[in-house]
Amino acid sequence: MFRYWMVPVVLMGSAMVAFCDLASVAKNHESADERLAAMEKLDDQAVYAHVARNDSASFVRKAAVKGLNDQRLLASIAKQDEDANVRKAAIEKLDDQALLAEIAKDDELPEVRFAAIEHIRDQAFLVDLAKDATTNFVNVYTFFKGYELTFEKLTDATFLGTFAVKNRAAEGLNDQERLAEVVKTVNDHWVQQSAGKRITDQAILAELARHPNAKIRALAMEKLDDQKILADVVRNEKHPGVRYQALQRLDDQALLAYVAINDADTPSRRFAVERLHDQALLADVAKYSKDLGVRKKAVEKIGAQTHLAEVAVNAYDDEARGKAWERLTVPQYLDAVDEADEARAEYQVLVEGINDQEVYADVALNDDEITLRMAMIDVLTDQSALAEVVINDPEWKVRRAAMAKITDRECLADIIIHGNYETYQAVERLTDMELIMGAVRGLTNKTSDQFTFRSVLRKLDTPTFLSEFTMLSEGDNEQAFLADLAQNFKNHKFYWMVMTVAVERLDDQELLKEITKGYRTNCFTSIAAIGRIHDQAFLEDMAKNDIEHFKRKEAITQLDNIELLEDIAKSTDDKYLCSAANRRIQDLKRQKR
């Protein structure tokens, strides 16, 4: 006989079967994605706890932690899980203020410590963290970041009233002279910033604008109104950061135009043209600046037809002239531009018809007209003149065209030593070992360009490389000399690049691992060592747990396990690490096709 009360029992039984099936999938399925999907359909603390403790995929553990309520288990995970993102997920749900303070002091990764600080509400623990900040944040960046997070959350009036005498006195000061004294004497970035932003007295700011310390000068620029002093700083200041700050408050249109045309610092040039509004001066910038981006911006800001016509007729390059021409509407100005273009074309034909390499070289090196210089490159064959164009021409299009025609090896070496822009192409094309060695020595005397120096070093064969920097003799063990260079070399202006190239040729896996762990001050050697390591378990541990962000990112690029990379991409909150993991996954998939 059918009994109506049996129906709920049957339905309950099938629900229990479905629950058990989902729980089993969440705990045991071989696919991490399937385990995650099953778990997300459940609302069961026991399943969450099992997955959070035991799942092999960190992104699955992280999802389980977000559903957990057990504070004891969350505390254990926040302290012990091997993955930083899982620990951070647990921290977000923790209530234990003492435990959060402990994690804020002791976790090996700054990002986890910062997450703990953000969830501390108890003022006593924040006070304790503030007092201990200098010993509990392991480097300058993490100290300042953790220090700032802590102080942002502090409201303890007694503590702020006493401890701030040393660390935050500026925030309570209004006396302008005392604030200036804090800026000049307290060796603390945050205190200087806080005090400097409260100074409004223009005489004091003028005094600080001449301080020997560039950071203090830059701070003064943020509030200084004296146009004469600002102009003096823009003209004479050697530090680009200070000059840039002064530009932001400068109103002198003529000086802004001068900077936009002539300044060596690209951000300063581009900021100067943004502040320009004088139409005649904008036309001058559009005609004469060596910076294509500045010229284009200047044309965009010109509204007067007469000045647009002036640019369309007289600007250095086709692009600036074309941009100005597109905005012309007055017929007489359009006719003037057509006449100028015809005259320019006739002159070009005349010069090309001379058939004299010296004339071609003179025009290519000295003419203001970019289009004409480009035309001369097409007919110029003198290798020395082409190399001079590559080294000196301000326009990348002209340099690139000249570079494409250079075949002389000595000219290539000359470009490497004296050039600033096309050096990598020259390095790539130079094969003569003697000339490469000469380039290494020539770059040693150059004030900058460490990366060109490294690219040239990489072109040397190992015996030549070692003979330049060690006492290598025939028959000596090259790996032993490379190991010594990689660990101990300091006798060169670019010693870190010599060490890096040595690391790139090392075979000793254990030594390479030591270099990744021990040379935190030289990121180049660490990155080179990571690129030489074959141990996937070591790389996995580094990708997940290393305290240095750049090492974790580099280790990801060396991993071969797609499933592991997918786990990293899904579990990390860091967009750069996620992007690195996804790029590596795509590379591996392409290699398998």
- Domains annotated on the chain, with CATH: 10-167 (no CATH), 176-348 (1.25.10.10)
Tell me phi and psi for residue 328, to 5 degrees. -80, 140
Q: What residue has token string 């690391």?
A: 503
Predicted local distance difference test score (pLDDT) of residue 223: 84
Predicted local distance difference test score (pLDDT) of residue 166: 44
Q: Give 149-155's long-range contacts (Cβ < 8 A, gap of 24+).
A: 149/114, 149/117, 149/118, 150/117, 150/126, 151/190, 153/117, 153/118, 153/120, 153/121, 153/126, 154/123, 154/126, 154/127, 154/130, 155/123
Q: What residue has token string 């389980």?
A: 64
**420 with 399: CB under 8 angstroms?**
no
From CA 191, how far away is CA 461, in angstroms rounded? Answer: 52
Q: What does the angle CA 242 – CA 244 – CA 245 come to, to the nearest 5 degrees?
A: 65
From CA 186, how far away is CA 498, in angstroms rounded? Answer: 38
From CA 65, how far away is CA 67, in angstroms rounded? Answer: 5
Please state at what angle helix 575-592 crosses helix 549-556, rounded to 10 degrees.
20
Tokens of 534: 């074959």
From CA 547, how far away is CA 61, in angstroms rounded? Answer: 21
Tokens of 6: 């049996």
Tell me phi and psi for residue 285, to 5 degrees. -65, -45
Provide the 8-state DSSP code for 418: H
Type of residue at 413: A
Please state at what angle helix 253-262 crosses helix 266-275, rounded to 10 degrees.
150
SS3 at position 454: helix
Residue 91 class from Cβ within 10 Å (0-12 exposed, 13-18 middle, 19+ buried)? Answer: buried
Predicted local distance difference test score (pLDDT) of residue 365: 94
Type of residue at 463: P
Predicted local distance difference test score (pLDDT) of residue 167: 45
What is the DSSP annotation of 88-134? HHHHHH---HHHHHHHHHH-SSHHHHHHHHHT---HHHHHHHHHHHH
Predicted local distance difference test score (pLDDT) of residue 131: 63
| Inter-CA distances, 91 with 79, 84, 107, 363, 571, Å | 9, 10, 12, 68, 15
What is the DSSP annotation of 21-51? HHHHHHHH-S-HHHHHHHHHT---HHHHHHH
Q: Walk along the chain (593 residues) and give the pLDDT tens digit of each residue.
A: 333 333 344 344 445 445 567 888 888 888 888 888 888 888 889 999 999 999 988 889 999 999 999 999 999 999 999 888 899 999 999 989 889 888 888 887 878 888 888 888 877 777 677 666 544 443 333 444 454 555 555 555 544 444 444 444 444 456 778 778 777 776 666 667 777 777 888 888 888 888 888 888 888 888 888 898 888 888 888 888 888 888 888 999 999 999 998 888 888 899 899 999 999 999 999 988 878 889 989 999 999 999 999 888 888 777 888 888 998 899 998 988 888 888 878 877 877 788 889 999 999 999 888 878 888 898 899 999 999 999 999 888 889 899 999 999 999 999 999 988 888 889 999 999 999 999 998 888 765 578 889 999 999 999 999 999 998 887 889 999 999 999 889 888 889 899 999 999 999 999 999 998 765 457 889 999 999 999 999 999 999 888 788 899 999 999 999 999 999 998 888 888 999 999 999 999 988 87
Q: What does the angle CA 336 – CA 342 – CA 347 come to, to the nearest 5 degrees?
A: 125
Provide the 8-state DSSP code for 270: H
Predicted local distance difference test score (pLDDT) of residue 305: 93
**60 with 522: CB under 8 angstroms?**
no
From CA 547, how far away is CA 254, in angstroms rounded? Answer: 50
Report the phi/psi class of residue 315: left, alpha or beta, with left for phi > 0 and alpha for psi in -120 to 50. Answer: beta
Predicted local distance difference test score (pLDDT) of residue 160: 45
**211 with 220: CB under 8 angstroms?**
yes
From CA 244, how far away is CA 259, in angstroms rounded? Answer: 11
Tokens of 407: 């075949």
pTM, full prediction? 0.59
**550 with 525: CB under 8 angstroms?**
no
**67 with 94: CB under 8 angstroms?**
no
| Inter-CA distances, 187 with 174, 245, 283, Å | 20, 22, 46
SS3 at position 473: coil
| Inter-CA distances, 50 with 60, 63, 347, Å | 11, 12, 83
